[in-house]
Structure 1
Amino acid sequence: MQERHWTAETITIEEAAKFIDHSLLRPELTVADVQAGCETAMKYGVASVCCRPIDVPLCVRELAGTGVVVGTVVGFPHGSHTTATKVAETRRAIDDGAREFDMVIQIGMLRSGRYREVHDDIAAVVDAAAAVDGAVKVILETAFLTKEEKIQGAKLVEEAGAAFVKTSTGFAPSGATVEDVELLRSAVSPKVKVKAAHGIRTLDVFLQMINAGADRVGATATSRILDDLRARKGV
């Protein structure tokens, strides 16, 4: 893939915003917090919001006509739901208006070498999301995996037909690193995108992640990142 060299000088605010999935996943968020998050997403024109399943209908209403996609999570945050439950979650989210789906793999099964089960779990969600041509972003939770497990997980994501391989939920001891983003990018073909999440709170870290190969960045610090970019540009 072409090497990236985005800097605060070369990337536009609009380009930067389209890398961001604005995260609204903290369990304590109120309805007013979610509405404020949607306002932030609209203000900056981000790629999507990634919200809790219960908030999908609200976010769909708040973001109607804005071009900001509504996404949600599946099997979140531990990945240990049954496949049938993950499929049901996906179908309900579709009915509620979600069009992107950040699912967590069966982490323990990957670490146990039970790759067929991991593959089939992902593929079932991909198949469900295909009803609306929805993008499935598969979370490996890299904090718990060895290098070899990360590579194997990424390959299973591609084999199962998902659109993205993603680093983290935001609920593990650590999140995205430049090294992990580069590793995942190298482990899959160009048709699979990479999403970095957890701990991306500054413009400089954001730029590091997209230069390492991230096509999307999950962030709660959207305003801080993009306001810093605007300030550096003097606009």
Structure 2
Amino acid sequence: MTDHSSGRTPDRIRVAAMIDHTLLDPAASDADAAALVDEARELGVYAVCVSPSMLPLPDTSVGPVVATVVGFPSGKHHSLVKATEARLAVDQGAAEIDMVIDVGAAACGEFDAVYADILAVRDAIGAGPVLKVIVESAALGDDAIVGACRAAERAGADFVKTSTGFHPAGGASVHAVQLMARTVGGRLGVKASGGIRTAADALAMIDAGATRLGLSRSRAVLDGLPVR
């Protein structure tokens, strides 16, 4: 990916500022979460993303930003459960919520249901926290991806996000990121997440239109980028 203003590949600092450094392993411990925060500070990433049961994280008053997941990973939770989980997470220090939609509803074209599900979470957390909507793009056709993105925008989301990283259909793809970026037209952010393991992967997603990256291997990605 080339920074067209300079003709150069984006450097480590710029990419780090786009990363949600992620730990969603079901076996993760409190010690793992503390290590994640320490590593996030060392790497200079934007945020950490952890499971909601790991909140509140210790000593994040000076960064990084704290994100968590809701309705994760299936999205098949009742909307009221998602809303309650999101509100509790915000009360425990999360500034950003990454919620999973009902993927089956989107696949069937039931976008009013997708909208209502997202709106329940938006209403529960209020306007302040950042809301990212995981559409599980690898499990959907193009029309369903577009419909889910439009529902997210209509419900007041701040970002649309490709994937949980747990679905057997796969994670982020360049095609999905391009489609999502075209659909939201810069009005929402686009988070690419799932299967991004190298600097080349990350740069391809940024070039496709991603404005945030969800990575569990942030150090490996950043080590592959130039330092300027």
The alignment's TM-score, normalised by the length of structure 1, stands at 0.91
Residue in 1 aligned with 2:61? 64
The Cα offsets for residues 181-210 of structure 1, whole Å up to 9 and x where unpaired, read as 001001113111100001101001101101
Residues 1:147 and 2:146 aligned together: no
- Tell me how far 1:6 sits from its aligned partner: 3.5
The structure with the greater share of residues assigned to helix is: 1
Matched, 1:5 2:9: no
CA drift at 1:74: 0.6
3-state SS of paired residue (1:6):
coil
Asked if 1:170 corresponds to 2:165, the answer is yes
Q: For residues 72-97 of structure 1, give each alpha carbon's deviation from its aligned partner in whole angstroms, at most 9, with x where no partner exists.
A: 00111011111110110011001101
Q: Is the 8 A contact 1:155 1:187 kept in 2?
A: yes
Contact 1:42-1:63 at 8 Å conserved across structures: no
Say if 2:116 is the partner of 1:117.
no
Query: How far apart are 1:215 and its partner, in Å?
Result: 0.5
Contact (CA 8 Å) 2:2, 2:10: kept in 1 or not?
no
How many residues are matched? Answer: 225
In structure 2, the residue matched to 1:189 is: 185
Q: Secondary structure at the match of 2:97?
A: strand
Q: Which runs of 5+ in 1 are unaligned?
A: none
Matched, 1:202 2:202: no
Preserved CA contact (<8 Å) 1:74 1:101? yes
Q: SS where residue 62 of structure 1 aligns? A: coil
1:226 Cα offset (Å)? 1.2
What code does the residue aligned with 1:30 have?
A: S
Q: Which amino acid aligns with 1:62?
A: D
Cα distance in 2, alignment partners of residues 147 and 11 from structure 1: 29
Contact 1:196–1:218 under 8 Å retained in 2: yes
Q: Whole-Å Cα distance in 2 between the matches of residues 56 and 16 of structure 1?
A: 26
Structure 1: how far apart are the matches of 2:185 and 2:150?
A: 9
